[in-house]
Amino acid sequence: MPEGALDGVLVADFSRVLAGPLAAMTLGDLGADVVKVERPEGGDDTRHWGPPWTERGSAYYLGLNRNKRSIALDLADAGDRELARRLATRADVVLESFRPGTMARFGLDYDTVAAANPGVVYCSVTAFGAHDRPGYDLLLQAMGGLMSVTGEEDGRPLKVGSAVVDLVCGLYAAVAVLAALRARAADPDGCGQRVEVTLMLAALAALLNQGSAYLLAGVVGRRLGNRHPSVAPYSTYTAADGPFAVGAGNDGLFARLCAAIGREDLVADPRYATNGERRAHLDALDAELDATFATRPAAEWVDALTAAGVPAGPINDVAAAYAMAEEIGLRPAVEIDGLRLAATPFRMERTPPAVRRAPPGLGEHDAELRAWLMDAG
């Protein structure tokens, strides 16, 4: 049995920071051999992003670069550039996240690589596609509409607390690469293809129902705090000792909620008979719910609602979230070489994802990779 679903797939990872490295790491978790190409002076930007720092470097970098080997290549140097070309022409997948035109200057663009390696799946991750404008997750959350729907109704726009656009972009890149590999396998000539993923389109995709509300109904979303634009009750509520979350996504769940908290009168109120009516009278409904929830601690309400089959939960910090996942048997973290890393968030029965290599030091595998590439012809 192969070590992973992508055992035997070689990935040349020229990307840096988040979206590209995340896509490459996902392929690595699935069994691909990922060679991370970094500049000799400093390597990937995230090696220098901290705090927090560990004895092995930046926690940011370590969280995005397991299951890779690192080679330091100066693409401005003719000799190193030739090694990069050899790597690209042997790879099944090339991932890059430079600004448009950069790879062409080094002779590593899709057309040049595909001429020598027609089976290559060549994935470019950019901020705005051919439009040569730099972008980080913060800017894309702002420009892509996410900030406009995140934050309190009367407050300023806020970004999500993690780099959600980079996350979505990296996962879309991995999905597209996997689909292109499947198409190559089915092609009689084994031809690969160019794959392009942009942070801007990823940001728009991440709008989900907010995006479809605009496209299909012309409704421009706005900040609603923790409320939902279409569903009620679906928010955070304040118990005697602090807030907790409740999501009653249909009329049946609302009836269960009301029974669990001793407020059957709310079900009988015509203002709350349907989801549409509840959403139209949300201020009044939330006031009723908060008044009841204020009488007991959050944990008691969470237990009562969960027992009734109503989705409810505490507002965990990161440590509590990992602890909760551990408690319910989800195994959210893995350890390798003394490092505790986030587990791959999916399971596969026959070819399970695995962490086989710790995140590499800059140029850690230079000797073996240079020797291999010198023999690559």
Place of tokens 């195994």: 331
Helices 251-260 and 298-307 cross at an angle (nearest 10°) of 130
Q: Residue 131: pLDDT above 90? A: no
Q: Residue 39: pLDDT above 60? A: yes
Query: Beta 234-239 vs 242-247: how paired, if at all?
Result: antiparallel
CA atoms of 121 and 355, how far apart (whole Å):
24
- 297 prior amide bond cis, ω within 30: no
Query: What is the average pLDDT across 222-232?
Result: 96
297 burial (CB, 10 Å; 0-12 / 13-18 / 19+) is middle
- R_g of the chain, CA atoms, integer Å: 25
pLDDT digits (tens, 9 = 90+) for 143-172: 999 999 999 999 999 999 999 999 999 999
Active site residue 166: yes
DSSP labels for 179-225? HHHHHHHHSTT---EEEEEEHHHHHHHHTTHHHHHHHHH-------T
What is the band of 80 on the pLDDT scale with cuts at 50, 70, 90?
very high
Q: What domains, with CATH codes, occur in the chain?
A: 10-207+333-374 (3.40.50.10540), 234-323 (3.30.1540.10)
Q: Which of 33, 74, 166, 317 is catalytic?
A: 166
What is the band of 270 on the pLDDT scale with cuts at 50, 70, 90?
very high
Which run of H or of E encompasses 95? Answer: strand 93-96
Q: What dihedral angle (degrees, nearest 10) is formed by the CA atoms of 355, 25, 11, 169?
A: 160
pTM here is: 0.94
The fraction of the chain above a pLDDT of 90, given in percent, is 97
